[in-house]
Amino acid sequence: MLRRCSNLPRSALKLSRPAARAFTKPSAPVAASSQLSTKDNVLFELDVKKVGNEIRKRGLTSALGGQREGGMDRDTIIRLLYSLGSRHEVERYLRIFTQSSKDASAGGVLPEAKFAVLKIGGAILTNELEDLALSLSFLNRLGLFPVVLHGAGPQLNDILEAEGIVPDYEDGIRITDPKTLSIARRVFLQENLKLTTALERLGTRARPIPTGVFTADYLDKAKYGLVGKITRVDKAPIEAAIRAGCLPILTSLAENAEGQILNVNADVAAGELARVLEPMKIVYLNEKGGLYHGVSGKKISTINLDEEYDSLMKESWVKFGTKLKIREIKELLDTLPRTSSVAIISTDMLQKELFTDAGAGTLIRRGHKLYKQPGVEAVGSTQLRQVFSERDAEVTSGKRSVAEIFSDLKSSPSTIYGDEPFDVVAVVSHPEGETPVMTKFLPSSNGMLNKIADNVFDVIKKDHKRLFWTAKADDENRAWHFERADGSFTRAGRSLFWYGVADVKEVEKIIEGFEQSGRIERVFLPVGPSIPPHRMSPGQTRAFSTSARPSIGASSVNSRRGYATATDVPRKKVALIGARGYTGQNLISLIDNHPHLDLTHVSSRELAGLPLKEYKKSDVSYSNLSVQDVGKMAENNEVDAWVMALPNGICKPFVDAIDAASQKGGKGVIVDLSADYRFEKDWTYGLPELYGREESKRSTRISNPGCYATNTQLLLAPLMQHLDPQAMPSVFGISGFSGAGTKSGEKDAEGRPKTVPKISAEDLGLSVRPYTLTDHIHERESANHLSTLLPENNDFKLAFVPNVAPWFSGIISVLTAPLNKTFRASEIFELYDEKYANERLITLGKTVPDVRDAEGKHGWRMGGVQVHSSGKRVVVVGALDNLLKGAATQCLQNLNNALGYDELAGIPLDKL
């Protein structure tokens, strides 16, 4: 996983995983120049697009300062930004961008042009023009002038194909003949005017500059035709536009010395433009919203070139266009000031990227290499002595000398962390066998603003699984500390922070040891309860939090969890996202009979507004919850658990929204029924009978296994140590047609879309239909998790063939497994009996289980053990209901474990 490790600003592009913002967001928007009305206060709840829509609806201040009737002044727009993050974040980034302009040298590039160069793909002009115009207008109303350069590749291809011209490429470069260039000029001009017109409609002045900026020579006329290589950039037209109060809108057309128009790659043109303007940000807007890891498929948060470039370029998946793009960006950044960075983001995330710590796409920057060294070896450093002399409060106040601090470093095992320019220095004391303490954290203002502190802290966190540290209660970086702590509380003017310890009792024991040994001040015991942040009065200091920043990966334990007693069992609220399918319907029924769970929200786009008749505990109606609705509910802790019953590839925005809320104090558990997170190491894989039962009791992110994968793994797990490593086991599975999912049918008398199967019994007739004969995702899922049961997590492989049959629900799977030694059938059965002896949802039998016995049952059945005459191949049969133990029942097991109930609470034990 690529990590942030540099000193460059993250404002252009940052983590897609939103950073915690505890204690930075004001309880109400205030400003010296103007006040927002009650209606304005509502805007704090809006997301990026809603902010843009509100600006468009109410009108925008003109670029030259005049305000239209009903328009919005700059202060109001700034406060609209607070809805994206915190006031602290917004003002910090505005200060950075403003400072960038002030620092521009006289007689050089016009200061306003040094903010950002935005390269916009042609597809965005077709599909996202409105959002793009809103984002650019937003920036302009803040006094910022991004220089915009756009392409038009998709539009050009469409016209060429319509005219019978097949686009031709060589080495990824479009071969441009005179006819192609003539069409390209027309298309570029049309797209340029389309964007400037959209901006003008919003009251933002924009100037089209289709030519006149780039001078070029032929790249290779014989090979590529009328394609240019830029030799000069004339910034005069850009600066003239900005002086006139207009956003400059450029194309990537160039001219040679004879006046011949040449086609130039838009990415290359953006790079050459950046070399002349030296902007703080170079932003590439595309529909994907970032670069993605070629193996994990995850969006890459940050690439720090000084630290990671060499190793990154050796990765097997970094090839072709990806390798070229990264190399070109490195060559560009090597020529620019170290504070410049490249961002690859989506259009609707532009404001969030520029003005919040959360970020949304991929940030590429040079960075500085980080260092760490034993404290005893570092004490001779003159630079380090200067850092302590200037930044350490104990030294500057006269309480201690640098020599005394260095003496401590020599006497106790410690490590000093930092970056090469010493913008951040941190000292971690770690005596053998004791919990580490960060005794010094000395960032410069540049180190905080440019995120060097984040990078140094990441390295510390790699080295130390748990850590305690303190800071003054009025520390200007107080929010930064809260964001990185799992828990904290404040007493006597100092705040104590920690991560990696979930149990409050253990925290108290550790602190008591610290105080006895003198490693921290004797002011922090006893540890007391917290006041939830959303209930604090204005100005009230948060005293304590056991989970200020819950981790995504199920490592944090809420101290209040655990199996509740029968006399005092707290009720928990559950929200179900995606309720129309068969699994959702079964889960509704299970929660309806659960003694401690209440279903409070059920989301289905097609059923929104209709009552949920199947649920009897209370009146619940279907709603159509958006990603923003879910994020706000999670932030306010309106539910205790979320169940994602959505198709594969759909739930990520919802999960991201809940993750973002968790950084602000949200504590909701997520159980995802899709395949989206079954390979994520930060998620608990929730097959309780085999792995993760104890982990799921501490987890907040649980991925529910697939139905076939559950059957397959339960069949194979007892045999894993006895399989022939030279031959793959195979599983032949047959499922009822409900496993294929549902689709909307005609509506009933109440207007409800009828739920009908995608594949019906009529479709199948009396046949069994094989499908996905190789590389089924459940094959990979099963092999991936079963491999954890082998020594050293070996690369285990199996073969799996799925089939669909004309019965409704129920899976029967036949395992054929080569063995590493001879066995009798009775010995094989004993392996299963030993493995599953105490599992109440598992039934072991001697005969082959019948799929009809599994349908409508909540457990798993196994039987029919037979060993080949050689004694070295076994056949075993397993059966379960794909909608219950294969989905809804297993989901309820995971919910119960995560929420602190008995694992089988709410599961009808008479139907196993």
Contacts of 716 (CB under 8 A, 6+ apart): 723, 729, 731, 782, 786, 798, 815, 817
| pTM score | 0.47
Contacts of 109 (CB under 8 A, 6+ apart): 235, 239, 276, 277, 278
pLDDT < 50 regions, the chain? 1-48, 55-71, 101-107, 528-568
DSSP letters spanning 617-642: SS--BEE---HHHHHHHHHTT--SEE
Instruction: Note the pLDDT of residue 538.
Output: 32
Instruction: Note the pLDDT of residue 105.
Output: 40
> CA-to-CA distance for 469 and 442, rounded, in angstroms?
13
Write out the two tokens for 176: 């441009």
As a CATH number, domain 370-524 is 3.40.630.30
CA distances, 206 to each of 5, 277, 605, 856, 904 (Å): 37, 19, 40, 65, 64
Could you give the residue numbers annotated as active site?
A: 707
Which residue, chain included where needed, has tokens 């006597």? 492
Domain ranges of the chain: 73-101, 111-279, 370-524, 572-701, 705-883
**Domain covering 705-883, topology:** Dihydrodipicolinate Reductase; domain 2 (3.30.360)
Instruction: Note the pLDDT of residue 164.
Output: 75
**Domain covering 111-279, topology:** Carbamate kinase (3.40.1160)
How do residues 697-719 score in pLDDT, each as one tens digit? 889 999 999 999 999 999 999 99
How do residues 797-853 score in pLDDT, each as one tens digit? 999 999 999 999 999 999 999 999 999 999 999 999 999 988 999 999 989 999 998
Instruction: Note the pLDDT of residue 139.
Output: 86
Q: How many CA atoms lie within 13 A of 363 on its CB side?
A: 35
Write out the two tokens for 887: 């989905």
| CA 671 from centre of chain | 16
Query: Can you give the C-alpha Rg of the chain in angstroms?
Result: 31
CATH class of the 572-701 domain in this structure:
alpha beta
